[in-house]
Chain A
Amino acid sequence: MILVTIDVLEVLLPILYFITIWAYAKAFFSGHPKARKISTPLLTVTLLAHLTYLLGRTAAFEHPPITSIFEILSVIAFSISLAYLLLELKTRVKATGYFVLNLPFVFQLVSSLFIKDQIDVDPVLKSNLLGIHVSSALLGYAAITISAVYGFLYLMLYHKIKSSRFGVIYERLPNLEVLERLSFVSTAIAFVFLTVAIAVGLIWLPRAFPESSYIDPKLFGTLLIWLVYGIGLAARKLAGWYGKRIVVLSILGFAFTLISMTVIDIFFSGFHKFY
C-alpha cells in the first residue's frame, strides 16, 4: 500500500509542481485574478503531497531520503518550496512565485525520473545527528537559492527602471526595496542554517568515523561560503551596503556555492562522498 502511494506520488509531484508554476505564471504575466487566488492553495497542496512522499519513503525504506543524489534533489525541491511559501505568507508578496518555483519543479522532475527504491544503505547514514546536519544544510542551500532568485529579480527591475523600460517586469514585480529585503532575509536564514549544519557536522564526524580528520574539500568549501555570507551580512549591517552592491554579492555567493558543490563533488574525493 505504502509503496503504491509512493509510486503514484512520484509521478504526481512533477505534475503538481507544473500546475502550480502555471498558476503563478498566469498570475504574474497576465494578472489573472483566479490564478492569483488559487496559486497559494495549489502550492500548499503540492507541499503536503511532497511531505507525504518524503515521510512515506522514510518509513518504507527505513532511512531519511538523503542517501542518493536523487533523494536529496527531492528534499531540496521541498525545502525551496517550503521556504518560499513561508516567505510569501510572511511578506504577502505573491508576484515572484513563478521565478522561485521553477527550480523545485526541475529538481523534482529529475528526481522522479531517476530515483530508485533503495533499501540497503550504509548504516552510518542512519543517524539522527546526520539527519539534522543534512536537513539544515539543505535548508541553508535552499535559502541561498531563493536569495539569489530575488537578487536576480532585483537586478532585472533595477536595469528596467534605470533604462526606462516599463514592461511587465516593471508592472508586476514588487518594488526594489522589497526585493532587496527578500533577498537579504533569505540570506540571513541561510546563514543560520549553514551555521547549524557546520556545527552539527563537526560534532557528528568524529563519532561516525573515529579515525577521520577534518580535512575535506566539501567542508572547506562550505566554510568558505559561510564566511562569504557572514562578511556580506556584516557589510550590510556595519558598512551600510545597500542596493545593487549587496545583491550582486548575494548572486556571486550563489554562483560560488553552485560551483564549489558540483566541482568538489566531481573532482575531489573526501569522506563526504557516500554515493
Chain B
Amino acid sequence: MDLLSVGTSHKRAPIEVREKLWFSVDEVRAALKELTQHSYKECVIISTCNRTEAYVVSPSEEPKAESLRDFLIDFKNARSIACPEHFFSFSSCGVANHLFEVTAGIDSMVAGDVQILGQVKEAINLSKESGTNGFYTNRLFQSALHVGKRSRTETEISEGAVSVSYAAVELASKIFAHLEKKTALLIGAGKTGELTAKHLVSKGVKDVFIANRTRSKAEELVQKLGGSIVDFEDLRPQLRHADIVISAISSPNYVLTVQDIQHVMRDRDNSPLFIIDIGVPRNVDPLVNKISNVFLHDIDALQRIVDQNLQKRTREVTKAQKIVEEELVEFTHWYNSLNVNPTIQQLRELFEEIRQLEVEKHTHRFTERDRELMDLVTKRIVNKILHIPTMNLKNGETESTEETVTKIRTIRKLFGLMGRRPDA
C-alpha cells in the first residue's frame, strides 16, 4: 500500500506533448473508472493546460510507476509523441511534496499562479463524484489545498499583476479609490485593449464606452463586455465623461494630442484622467503626461510593472517553500503513523521505557546477581505481552487498508503514541 504519482508538466514536456495528454472532464471520469479496475485503490487526476498528473494508492508494496505512466499514454493514444523523459514519478511522501509545491504555486509557469488551486480542488471533487477518492487521497488533497491557501495568504507569491492588461488595472486602482464610480473609454478593438477593458469591467467599472473605426467590431465587443458604442468621430466630446481611457488602435498620427487633453481637462474640472496607450506606434502624444492630473502610461511602463511583479514573486518562492516543508513534516508524521512497523517499534520502545524506569527504581533492593536476573525476567514479560498484538498487527498488513488503519489508530490512541514522532 503506497501513494504514487505520475505525470507531466511544463517543466518536462513541450506544449505538443502536454496538449496531447490533456484530459477533458469526461475523459477524467472515464480514466478514473478504468484505473480502479486496474486494482488501484484510490485515484485522482489533475489535468490543466500546463500539467496532467495522476495520483493513486497502489496496492503492491513496490508501486510501479511505469504501468501508471503507460496507462496515461495509452488512454490518450500518445505513444507516438510522449516518451518516458516527459514524465516524473513520485512515491510515498514524495507525492505529497510534489503536490504541495503545485498548490503552493511554486511549480507553476508563473510563480503564484492563482488558477491551479481551483483546478486541484476540481480534480479532487471529480474523484469524489466518481467515488475513487479515499482515506489517503482525501488527507493528501486536504493538506495540499491548505498549503495553497497558506502560501497565498502568508506570502506575496500571488500578489501583483503579471500581465500587461492586469497591470493597467492595478495602476488604475492606484489612482482611483472607487472604480465602480468611474467610466472607461476604449478606443480600438484589439486583443490587449479588450482584455484590459474586461479586467476593468470585472473590477466593477461603472460604464464602458467603445469607439472603433469599424463599427461592427465595436458592436461585437459591446456584446462581450456590455457598455455602449461611441462614434469614432465623436471621440473628443466623449472624453470629458471618461476617467480611464484605453487607446489601442493602429494609426500613423496621434489620436489624442496635447490640445485635446488640455481642452478635456478644463471641461472635467481637472479631475484625474488615466490614459493607457497600448498602441504601437503610440496613439497619444507623450507630452500629454505633462498636463496636471493626467496620468499617461504606455506599454513599456506596464511591462515594467509586470517584470517587477514577476521578480517579486520569484523572491517569495523561498517563503512558500518553507510552508511546503512545514506541512510536509505534518503529513509525513501522519503518513508514517499509518504504517504498521513504526507503530510496533514505538510500542516496544514505550514498554521498554516503562520497564527500565521501574527496574531502576527498585534496583537497589537487589544484590548484584539478582539484578541481572530481574532485568532478564522483566524483559521476557514485556516481550511475551507484546508478542500476540505484534503478530496480529503484522498479519493486518494483508488486510484491507481501512481495517489496518483503524487498528493502528486504536493502538496509538490507547497507548498514547499519537504525539510520538516515528523515527522510521
* Chain B CB within 8 A of A244 CB: yes
> What A residues does B174 contact at CB under 8 A?
157, 161, 170, 175-176
Within 8 A of B (CB), among A146-201: 157, 161-162, 164, 166, 170, 174-178, 181
**CB pair A162 B171 closer than 8 Å:** no
Complex alpha-carbon distance, A7 and B142, angstroms: 56
Shortest CB-to-CB span from A246 to chain B, Å, is 10
- Over the window 8-38 of chain A, the binary record of Cβ atoms lying under 8 Å from chain B Cβ atoms (1 yes, 0 no) is 0000000000000000000000010100000
> What A residues does B176 contact at CB under 8 A?
175-177
* Chain A CB within 8 A of B190 CB: no
**CB pair B272 A176 closer than 8 Å:** yes
> What A residues does B154 contact at CB under 8 A?
33
**CB pair A175 B270 closer than 8 Å:** no
Complex alpha-carbon distance, A170 and B160, angstroms: 12
Determine which of A33, A181, A242 lies in contact with B271 in the assembled complex, contact meaning CB atoms within 8 Å.
A242
Residue of B nearest to A181 (CB): B177
* Chain B CB within 8 A of A243 CB: yes
State the total of A-B contacts with C-beta under 8 angstroms: 51
Among A33, A170, A176, A241: residue with most chain B CB under 10 A: A176
> What B residues does A157 contact at CB under 8 A?
174
Within 8 A of B (CB), among A189-221: none
**CB pair B270 A164 closer than 8 Å:** no
> What B residues does A123 contact at CB under 8 A?
none
> What A residues does B308 contact at CB under 8 A?
166
Complex alpha-carbon distance, A208 and B390, angstroms: 97
- Does more than half of chain B's interface fall in helix, strand or loop, or is it mixed? mixed
**CB pair B270 A242 closer than 8 Å:** yes
- Please count how many residues in chain B sit with their CB below 8 Å of the partner chain's CB atoms: 22
- Assess A240 versus B304: contact at CB under 8 Å? Given A175-B177, A176-B175: no
Shortest CB-to-CB span from A86 to chain B, Å, is 19
> What A residues does B269 contact at CB under 8 A?
240, 242
Within 8 A of A (CB), among B122-174: 154, 156, 171, 173-174
Shortest CB-to-CB span from A215 to chain B, Å, is 40
**CB pair B293 A164 closer than 8 Å:** no
Complex alpha-carbon distance, A181 and B181, angstroms: 15
- Assess A177 versus B177: contact at CB under 8 Å? Given A164-B301, A244-B292, A245-B292: yes
* Chain A CB within 8 A of B305 CB: yes
Complex alpha-carbon distance, A175 and B178, angstroms: 10
Residue of A nearest to B290 (CB): A162
> What B residues does A161 contact at CB under 8 A?
171, 174-175, 295
Complex alpha-carbon distance, A13 and B41, angstroms: 66
Shortest CB-to-CB span from A239 to chain B, Å, is 8
* Chain A CB within 8 A of B321 CB: no
- Over the window 232-271 of chain A, the binary record of Cβ atoms lying under 8 Å from chain B Cβ atoms (1 yes, 0 no) is 0000000011111100000000000000000000000000
> What A residues does B173 contact at CB under 8 A?
175
**CB pair A241 B178 closer than 8 Å:** no
Shortest CB-to-CB span from A241 to chain B, Å, is 7
Residue of B nearest to A174 (CB): B177
**CB pair B156 A243 closer than 8 Å:** no
Other A-B pairs beyond A33-B154, A176-B175, A240-B270, 14, CB < 8 Å: A161-B295, A162-B295, A164-B304, A166-B304, A177-B176, A240-B269, A241-B270, A242-B270, A242-B272, A243-B271, A243-B292, A244-B292, A244-B293, A245-B292
Q: Which residues of A contact B (CB under 8 A)?
A: 31, 33, 157, 161-162, 164, 166, 170, 174-178, 181, 240-245
A-B contact pairs, 6 of them (CB 8 A): A33-B154, A157-B174, A161-B295, A175-B174, A176-B272, A245-B292
